[in-house]
Chains A and B, each alone.
Chain A
Amino acid sequence: MHIDKLNLTSFRCCTQLEMSPGSGLNIIRGENAQGKTSILEALWLLTTTRSLRAFRESEMIERGQENAHISASVVREKMGEIEIQVSIHLSDRKTLKVNGSKRARMVDLIGELNAVFFGSPDMAIVAGEPSDRRHFMNVEIAQISPKYIHTFASYKKVLEQRNKLLRDLRDNPRGAIQSGLDAWTEQLIVHGGLLFERRQFYLDRLAPIADRIHQELTDGKECLEIRYLPSIHFEETNETIDDYPDGVMEERPPFVIDGSAKDISLFTAAFREQMRKIEPDEIRRGTTLIGPQRDDIQILINGKEARLFGSQGQQRTAALALKLAEFKLIELCVGEPPIMLLDDVMSDLDDARRMHLLRHASTCGQTFLTCTAIRSIPTEMLKQANIWNMSNGEISTGNFE
């Protein structure tokens, strides 16, 4: 898939911006605070409905304006061209139009455009907090499984309600059954079971791809293991997912997106059993103690925990491998490559990793890359790339000299 046309109106510092990006590598060059990242942010918002960095959505509206608009025509190999428009309003919720007709729910945007974003903060996937790694899982799975998004939203609401009830029961002890705790627990289990299952399903498929890429990045010197660490204990199945060589993979896509109901029941049963045991503790502590909100991913390089024993270079290589694996997995699931958004990451990578990423970017679908200087990019690649200059919220075509 690729973006054929992008229009921004009153978005951040871009009063009026129109660009027709090329289908390969698009390099957006400019000094800091000129609006380079706004283009990536706009494309990310079309992918996820969320801003990359805004604390309040109104921050994305140009000062003095009431509304900002992002519109793009997305060309999909199988479905043809789709026009998406998202408008951000100062005093109202965002609105969405697809092919000119208004959609009631913003969340229906997800799946129209797929993207992988890679920026400096992503270097922390390996060494950062468990919440960084959960965020990585959520963003990836949400793009390929709409049901995951809806279940995740319901789970969050139930969790909030249940935590409030547990706090009340702690501060003001009375019968848990009469308070309806069992009903909130059951809702948590039903939604949580599905989240556990989806995370296991996708990480099982991401792991061999990430390992293969990591080996390529390290000339076969390092292997990468990705393990899902759900916050509940459950019996492992004997099924193993082989790393199909590319040719074999190609015959199989798209993946069956829905996990079998049997797998989910395995997780819900384990979750229910462990919730039952831990409930007295939860009432005493006044909060939910287990569930997908406490999951993590274990990342091992040559069998050692990368978070603790990896060098910064190894951790960044693993982060890059995870991102490129995410790209591949989305491609396998949706049947065509997503777009790639690279935000000023060149300086965070050493020469070899940078070249690998650039080779990927210039051969695998459409990429948007922001940078302050292009001297780290080889001339042959620059010759084939579309180069854009960004200054003061305005974009113009540039060249590589």
Chain B
Amino acid sequence: MHFAKPLARLVSELERLPGIGPKSAQRMAFHILRQPREEAAQLANAILQVKESIRLCPECSNFTDQEICEVCSDTRRDRAIMCVVAETRDLIAMEKTGEYKGIYHVLQGLLSPMDNITPDMLKIRELFPRIMNGVNEVILALNPTTEGQTTTFYLASRLKPLGVKVSQIAHGLPAGGDLEYADQATLISALEWRREI
């Protein structure tokens, strides 16, 4: 007994989504099948619309539905400080703090040969002309993973010769966290990143 062809096709499309295994894909497909027609159409339209209306900001490579993204078009932003992040969701996390007033650059990923991601696949080429255009401090805010650390090193070694100040965000204990309950890797990292007071 096999799934009818259209159903099998939906399952295999859903399976290609990140984090979705065969079981979840089947569950989702049956859910869609049972939905009223209008609800299924809403989902299909939302998918098409996101593809038609969202593009990369020509300046910072952030996802936007405008000509130029909200941050880049905000004239109150300090254009001498740039924060480099991997993904739009990281930019949103930084924005939520309300503490950062500079501009951003979104790499759209991190170096990872296993996923065939080399520097030319990321928005790195676009970074240099922007920095030459009045930026004097770059903050690298990439994940403390193998890929994040390697990308940080790659960028830092190429930015420093340009005479720009380069820093990376600290890794360590979460604020309000309890030392006793912190995991070892976090504690080790917090020790390494200690600073004099």
Contacts and interface: CB of A to CB of B under 8 A. Distances in A.
A105 interface: yes
B111 A180 contact: yes
Contacts of B116: 168
Contact of A157 (B120, B146, B154): B146
Given A147-B188, A178-B119, A183 B114 contact: no
A107 B184 contact: yes
A154 interface: yes
A111 B73 CA distance: 53
A146 interface: yes
Contacts of A164: 113-114
Given A108-B183, A187-B146, A150 B153 contact: no
A256 to B, nearest CB: 15
B62 interface: no
Q: How large is the interface on A (under 10, 10 to 19, 20 to 34, 35 or more residues)?
A: 20 to 34
A182 B188 CA distance: 26
Nearest to A184: B150
Contacts of A158: 146, 150
Contact of A150 (B113, B114, B157, B188): B188
A146 B184 contact: yes
Contacts of A184: 111, 113, 150
A104 interface: yes
A184 B112 CA distance: 10
A165 interface: yes
Contact of B150 (A101, A108, A146, A187): A187
Interface string A147-183: 1001000100110111011001000000000111011
A297 B185 CA distance: 28
Contacts of A105: 183-185
B151 interface: yes
A185 to B, nearest CB: 10
Contact of A108 (B153, B157, B184): B184
A389 to B, nearest CB: 39
A103 interface: yes
Interface in A14-70: none
Interface in B140-190: 146-147, 149-151, 153-154, 157, 181, 183-185, 188
Given A107-B184, A150-B185, A168-B113, A187 B153 contact: yes
A186 interface: yes
A127 to B, nearest CB: 35
B184 A180 contact: no
A187 B189 CA distance: 16
B137 to A, nearest CB: 21
B183 A182 contact: no
A183 B113 contact: no
B185 A183 contact: no
B20 to A, nearest CB: 15
B45 interface: no
Given A103-B183, A105-B185, A186-B153, A161 B112 contact: yes
Interface of B: 111-114, 116, 118-120, 146-147, 149-151, 153-154, 157, 181, 183-185, 188
Given A158-B150, A183-B111, A187-B153, 20 more contacts: A101-B181, A105-B183, A108-B184, A146-B184, A150-B184, A150-B185, A158-B146, A161-B113, A161-B114, A162-B113, A164-B114, A168-B113, A178-B120, A180-B150, A182-B154, A184-B113, A186-B150, A186-B157, A187-B146, A187-B149
Interface of A: 101, 103-105, 107-108, 146-147, 150, 154, 157-158, 160-162, 164-165, 168, 178-180, 182-184, 186-187
5 contacts: A103-B183, A161-B113, A179-B119, A184-B150, A186-B150
